[in-house]
Structures are given as structure tokens and as C-alpha cells.
Amino acid sequence: MKRILVFGNGGSGKSTLSVTLGDLLHLPVIHLDKYFWQPNWIATPVDDWNIIVESFSDSEEWIIDGNYSRTMNIRIKRADLIIFLDMPNMLCLYRIFKRRIKYNRKTRPDMNEECTEKLDLEFIKWVWNFKKRNRAKILDKLEVASKTKRIIILKNRKQVNEFIEGLKNYKIK
């Protein structure tokens, strides 16, 4: 496993899992949000974004976390392992509110330095509707990718913890 793709809803734990895996497997972690969002929450232009994602994906080793469905196929093509965090909506909502409080007037470590944490109705709706809007398309992509890629779908905190413990035990042996 040299290239791991982690994606899921906002608040699903993508960044936390990616950092944990990076530490455990000694792989560089790339948080896509850090590169997509320019200072003051300005989105990177589409053509520039495609080049950035292709550049990251062409590297030999990485853990990339983030959604960005338009460039998902680029990352899927290069990934050895794909992890979909298919967490419950209420857990994701809880986590986005929790991190808003934790990083009040600060920038999260997985974001561009000039993007202080914010929480608005648009993002809350995006998180709440993620499964309804994206899940079927994601599962279709994973079904196709499963012919050549290893796919892991984690649906709750217990499964995430078991996955991490399994990797730790594997590394020890």
C-alpha cells in the first residue's frame, strides 16, 4: 500500500484517519482542502485544480483525503487502496459542529492557513444531503474500481478503530 485514497462526507473523519494512517505507514498525507481553498475560502480554478490533483496522484507514495468528485477518477486510477468513510449523517453533523467550536477563529491543520474555520447553512445542508446526493454514485464508482483495486468501506467508529488496530497488528508481525 503506497497510495491510499480516503473520502467520505464532511465530518466523517477523513483527515483524522489519513493522519493516523500516515503516521502508521510512514506515507505523506495530502489534504485536498488545503490546496483547493485559497486564502479567504476562494476556490481554485477548475483547470488549475485538475493539474494539482494529477500532480499529487502521479507521486509514488501518498494518502490523499478529500472528495472533489470531479477529480475522483484521477485519484481512483492511481490508488492502491480506496477507503470510503460511509458514516451516519448525525455523526458527521456532530463532528462539524464540534470542530467549529474547537477551531473557533483558527485554521484547522488540514486547511489553508488563511481559511479560518467556519460553519454556514450551506455546508450543513451539504453534509446532511451527502448520502442522498452522492452515495449511489460513489458505490457505483467503487464497484467498477473493485475489479482492480482494494476497497474498504467503513460505516462507524468501531470499524475505523478495528481497521487501524488490524494495521497496527499487521505492522508488528
Task: Report which residue type is found at 62.
Answer: W
129-134 contacts, C-beta under 8 A, 24 or more apart: 130/9, 130/10, 130/89, 130/92, 131/9, 131/86, 131/89, 134/67, 134/69
Domain range annotation of the chain: 3-172
If one compares 1 and 67, the residue with the highest pLDDT of the two is 67
SS3 call for 28: coil
Residue percentage of the chain with pLDDT more than 90: 93
> 3-172: which CATH topology?
Rossmann fold (3.40.50)
Reported as a pLDDT band with limits 50, 70 and 90, residue 171 is: low
What's the alpha-carbon Rg for the chain, to the nearest Å? 16
Query: For residue 125, which of 89, 85, 91 has the smallest C-alpha distance?
Result: 89
pLDDT of residue 123: 96
pLDDT of residue 172: 55
Residue 115 and residue 36 in contact, taking contact as beta carbons nearer than 8 Å: no
Residue 68 and residue 46 in contact, taking contact as beta carbons nearer than 8 Å: no
* pLDDT tens per residue, range 127-139: 999 999 999 999 9
Mean pLDDT value across residues 1-9: 96
Return the H-helix or E-strand segment holding 171.
helix 157-172
Give 150's strand partners. 81
